[in-house]
Amino acid sequence: MRKGLLLGRRPELLRLEEAWRRACQGRPQLVIVDGRRRVGKTYLLAGFAAGKPAIWYGATHESTEAELARLARAVRVQSGRQVDSPAALSWGNWRQAVRFLGVLAEESPLLVVLDGYDRLLRSDPLAAEAAAYFAQDVPPGSRLMLVLVGPQPDLMTRDVPDREGPVSVHVEPFDAATARRFLPRLSPSDFLEAYAACGGYPLHLMQWEEDATTEENLLRLAGTTGGVLLDDAEALLREQLPDAIGYTRILAAVGRMQTRYSEILGAVAQRIEHPLEVLVRSGLLRRSVPVGAEPSGRAAEYEFNDTYLAFWFSVLYPSVPDIEAGGGQRALQRAQPAWAHHVERVFQEVARDHARRLTCSGGMPADLIVGRWWSAARDQAVDVLGLQGGRSLLVGRARWLERPLGHDELSVVQGFLRHVPKPAASPLLALWGRHGVSTAVRSAALGFDVAEALEA
C-alpha cells in the first residue's frame, strides 16, 4: 500500500483506533465509514486493519444467498479460528451472520470489514438489519468491531439499554494543502493545476505523472476515452444520486456559472427545489452567501463543493462527446478559457483556506471570519474578505497570472473598500498571486505566492 494514502487521515484513524480499543474491552462496536467514490475509504481501512485479527469481505451485487456464502468462506479462510462445523456458517440472513461473528469474537478481539455495503443494500434492502439490530444481536462482552463501508442505513439502530450506538467516520476529499503531499516533486504552480483537475481524491492524484506537463496529463486522464478524470464523474454521480440524469442538468447549469436559484430554474426547465436540497445534502453542492450575510439572503448562490466535479462540469462536460469520438486534444484546446477560469477559482479557494490557517497560526487575528463576498447585483466581488466584529478588516484578491501582482491589482483591492461592509479604520490588504507580488506593492499589502498559500 502506498504510504501517502494515509497522509492527512489522522483524525479518521484516531476515531477508528478508539472504537477498536473499546471493542477490545468487550464493548462491541458498529462503525459506518462513508464517503464518495475514490476518496480512499478502502485504503484507510486497509491501513487501520494492518496487524489486527481481521476478516475482509467485499460485497457485490449477487443474491443474498451468494453473498452470505461468500462471507462464510471469508470467515473460514481469514479468521484463523476453529469453526466447529460448516453448519455453523449456514446463515439464513444477515442478522444471523452478525450474531455468529459476535459469538466468534467473545474470547478475543475480531475486526470485520464489510466493504461495499451500499452495493449490498441495493441488492438486498434487508441487509440494513445488520446495522439496525447490531446492539441487540451481538452478545454483551463480545470483542467484535464490525465496519460497514457505505452510506448510513435508513433503518436506524435499535436501542438496547447500556449499549453504544454506531460510530460514524466520514471520509472527505483532501484540501489542497494536504493533497500537496501526494505530488511533492511538482512545482507549487504545477501542483495547483493538478489539484484543480483531480480534486482531493487520492486515486486521481496518484494517476498524475509528475514528469509530464499539465497539458500531457490532462490529455491522458481527461481527454482520452477511459481516462480516470473523464469517466469517474458519471460513476460518482450514479453512486451518490437516485437519478443521476435529472440532477446532471442542475450541475451542468452551475458549471456554466448559472449559480442563482432563478438562473438554474431557467436553465433546466424543471422543478429544482428538491433536487437542489438533495445535491446540497449529499455534499456535491453548497449554498453560499456573502460572508457576514444572512443565510436566507437573496444574493445566495449554489457552487460546487467538490473541486473535481467543478472541473468536470465547468471544463469537460460540454466536450465529452468530442472526446469520446477521439477529438480530445482539440476539445481541450477549445476549453482553455474555461480551464483558466476554473484554475483561478480554485486558487481563490486556496487563498481563503490559507487566510483561515493564518488565523490559527497567529499570522492574522484569531477572531477573523474569512469567506467570499459579493454584492447583490454582482457588480462587486471580493475573493477574500475577513470580518472582525462585523467590520471588514481583511480585503484580498487572488489572481492566477504569469507575473507578480502589482499596482493594478492593488488598486482593485483598494477600490473594494468603498463597497465591502463597514471597512475597518486600518484594513489589511492582501494579494495572492501565482508568482507572488512585486516589490513595489509590498509596503502597502500582504503578498503571497502559491507556495506560501499551500503551506499546511
Quote the radius of gyration of the chain (alpha carbons, Å): 25
Domain boundary among 156, 171, 186: 171
What string of H, E and C letters represents the secondary structure of 413-433?
HHHHCCCCCCEEEEEEEEEEE
- Spell out the long-range contacts of 338-346 with Cβ–Cβ below 8 A and sequence spacing 24 or more: 338/314, 339/218, 339/315, 340/400, 341/314, 342/196, 342/310, 342/311, 342/314, 342/315, 343/192, 343/193, 343/196, 343/400, 344/398, 344/399, 344/400, 345/310, 346/176, 346/192, 346/195, 346/196, 346/307, 346/310
pLDDT per position as a tens digit, 117-151:
888 888 888 888 889 999 999 999 999 999 999 86
Residues 149 and 84 in one domain: yes
Residues 417 and 427: beta-carbon distance below 8 Å: yes
C-alpha distances in angstroms, 144 versus 12, 19, 28? Answer: 19, 10, 5
CB contact at 8 A, 177 and 284: no
Question: Distance between CA 317 and CA 311 in Å, rounded?
Answer: 9
User: What phi-psi label fits residue 192: left (phi over 0), alpha (psi between -120 and 50 degrees) or beta?
Assistant: alpha
Return the amino acid letter for 403: R
Looking at the structure, tell me whether residues 308 and 261 fall in a common domain. Answer: yes
**Domain match, 294 and 367 both:** no
Asked if residue 208 and residue 108 are part of one domain, the reply reads no
Task: Give the count of domains, the chain.
Answer: 3
pLDDT-flagged residues of the chain (< 70): 1-6, 81-88, 151-163, 242-245, 456
- Strand-pair category, 446-448 with 423-433: parallel
pLDDT for res 151: 61
Q: Does residue 254 sit in the same domain as residue 316?
A: yes
**pLDDT tens digits, one per residue of 360-376:** 999 999 999 999 999 99
- What Cα–Cα distance (Å) separates residue 406 from each residue in 69, 346, 436, 452? 68, 21, 9, 18
Q: Give me the pLDDT at residue 7, please.
A: 73
The bridge status of strand 369-374 relative to strand 381-388 is antiparallel
Please check whether residues 372 and 444 belong to one and the same domain. yes
Q: Are residues 67 and 16 in the same domain?
A: yes
> Which amino acid would we find at residue 186?
L
Q: pTM, whole model, 2 decimals?
A: 0.89
Phi-psi region for residue 115, left (φ > 0), alpha (ψ -120 to 50) or beta? beta
Do 159 and 33 lie in one domain? The reply is yes
Give the Cα separation of 109 and 399 in Å (integer): 54
Q: Compute the distance between CA of residue 62 and CA of residue 67 in angstroms, rounded to an integer.
A: 6
Interatomic CA distance for residues 283 and 266, integer angstroms:
23
Neighbours of 54 (CB within 10 A): 19
The domain that contains 399 carries what CATH number?
A: 3.40.1350
Q: Quick one: 160 and 120 in the same domain?
A: yes
Q: Examine the domain organization and report whether 194 and 88 are in the same domain.
A: no
Last residue of one domain, picked from the residues 145, 171, 197: 171
**119 and 193 assigned to the same domain:** no
In this structure, are residues 347 and 400 in contact, taking their beta carbons and an 8 Å threshold? yes
Q: Are residues 31 and 156 in the same domain?
A: yes
Domain final residue pick, 171, 186, 218: 171
Q: What CATH number is given to the structural domain containing 54?
A: 3.40.50.300
Pseudo-torsion of CA 430, 432, 437, 442, nearest 10°? 20
- What domain range includes position 274? 176-344
- Predicted pLDDT of residue 163: 60
pLDDT of residue 3: 43
